[in-house]
Amino acid sequence: ISLSNQFEYRRVHKRYEALVIGRPEPSQPSLNKETEDYDDVEKGSFLIDEPINVEGRGLLNAQTTLRVLSTIDHLHWGALSHVDLRPKTGRTHQLRIHCAGLGCPIVGDDLYWKMGDDSRQQQRNGKNVGEEEIVPLPSVRKGQGGLYLQSVGATFVHPRTGVEMTIEAPVANKFNMLLGRARRANEYDTKTAPAA
């Protein structure tokens, strides 16, 4: 099968990593079920099954699996989560829209930041309030490292040999730099906090 046909018929399995604001949790309405029925995702992944409005075509089915790799407290955003995302469909901006719809927009996403903040406000107003206070988002700052979303892998069948191949790329250093800054800020805050 040609590579273009594999993309067209959704036989290429893509994997992305992103840094998102907040803590995506299974109790959120969009993360409604575990993904044990998918053989290409790891245990602990959840399915976002929310249609996306595509201009000129209306609402189209869109599915993404999400797995939280790590979460750390963040002084301004409440939390910062490193997530693994695997689109099951290939809609334009699908990953960005799905994360924002959870109230967990991708760091640096100036296009869907407002949507993420609106989702957080809905959660705060009682639709999905967890144990922690949901922090309103500050406005996105442009020019601060760009969008923290990266393709880190793809699996497909080689069109000539018929052998399944997986191509992987390491996550960009900017991810580790931002996570490191957040960890150091937490350590500093813990060390300087007055004793109770």
170 in helix, strand or coil?
A: coil
pLDDT at 129: 46
Supply the pLDDT for residue 131.
45
Q: Is the alpha carbon torsion for 171, 177, 178, 184 positive or negative?
A: positive
What distance in Å separates the CA atoms of residue 41 and residue 85, rounded to the nearest whole number?
10
Query: What pLDDT is attached to residue 33?
Result: 57
Those residues whose C-beta lies under 8 Å from the C-beta of residue 113, and which sit 6 or more positions away, are: 100, 105, 137, 139, 140
Reported as type and span, the H/E element at residue 181 is helix 173-192
Supply the pLDDT for residue 55: 84
Q: Distance between CA atoms of 147 and 135, rounded to whole angstroms?
A: 21
Can you give the pLDDT at residue 31? 60
- The span from the CA of 166 to the CA of 154, in Å, is 6
Within 10 Å of residue 89's Cβ, how many Cβ atoms?
14
pLDDT in tens, the chain (196 residues): 888 999 888 889 999 999 999 988 776 656 655 555 555 556 778 889 999 988 888 899 999 999 999 999 887 888 899 999 999 998 999 999 999 999 999 999 989 989 988 888 887 765 554 445 666 676 666 656 789 999 999 999 999 999 999 999 999 999 999 999 888 887 876 666 565 5
Reading the block at residue 23, the tokens are: 């803590």
**Nearest one of 130, 77, 84 to 104, comparing CA atoms:** 77
Task: Identify the pLDDT of residue 191.
Answer: 63
Res 10: pLDDT: 83
